[in-house]
Amino acid sequence: MSTKGNIIIVGNGMVGHYCAEQLVMHGLHETHQIHVFGEERHHAYDRVHLTDYMTGQDALALRLHQEDFHTAHGITLHLNSRITDIDRAAKTVTTENEILPYTTLILATGSTPFVPPVPGNTGTAGLVYRTLEDLDLIRAAAQGAQHGTVIGGGLLGLEAANALKVLGVDVSVIQLGTTSDVRPAG
């Protein structure tokens, strides 16, 4: 009886999903058990087009793969699952419910938005623009709001400002510096 080694991908965003696709393309799903862990309840989706979701597109339209991708390739997808510990010496990862050994560990966790330590930025007064759940909270907070403030004049900040504008909210953008960080390509 042969035992497959575990390849564990921590992160089910665009990079984590692309990594899983590449492992399948190179046939590693046939020689290893692949586990993908994501903190969100959603399958991998296109974060670049979150504004489309904010303006009414269905979340399923943002999905990066067919629904049966993981099952068809023997990949175990752990949604709503957080890795709480990595023991590099023992080569294990720990979740809220289990400890899994790995032969290969891939960290594809993405980034965490910086939230300035400003008094009063908790609850609906201090939201971030990163996940589908974040956008649901922003959309709910925008209902009946007359004005919103976006901190950050980079690409995501301007996307968030545009989304609020589409929802009928007047928007101010606060940017460190004198000009936007967004510049034309070329």
For residue range 22-48, list pLDDT tens digits in order: 999 999 999 999 999 999 999 999 988
Q: Do 5-107 and 123-174 show the same overall fold? A: yes
Q: Where are the domains of the chain?
A: 5-107, 123-174
Q: State how far the Cα of 47 lies from the Cα of 63, in Å rounded to an integer.
A: 9
Q: What is the pLDDT of residues 57-116, one digit of tens each?
A: 898 899 998 878 999 999 999 999 999 999 999 999 999 999 999 999 999 998 888 888
Q: How far is CA 64 from CA 16, 60, 162, in A?
A: 11, 9, 24
What burial letters (b/e) apply to 90-114, b meaning 16+ CB within 10 Å? ebbbeeeeeebebeebbebbeeeee
**Tokens 């995501």 correspond to what residue?**
156
Is the overall model pTM greater than 0.95, yes or no?
Answer: no
- Domain 5-107: CATH class, spelled out: alpha beta
Q: Does domain 123-174 have CATH number 3.50.50.60?
A: yes
Of 20, 76, 17, 5, residue with least CA distance to 48: 17
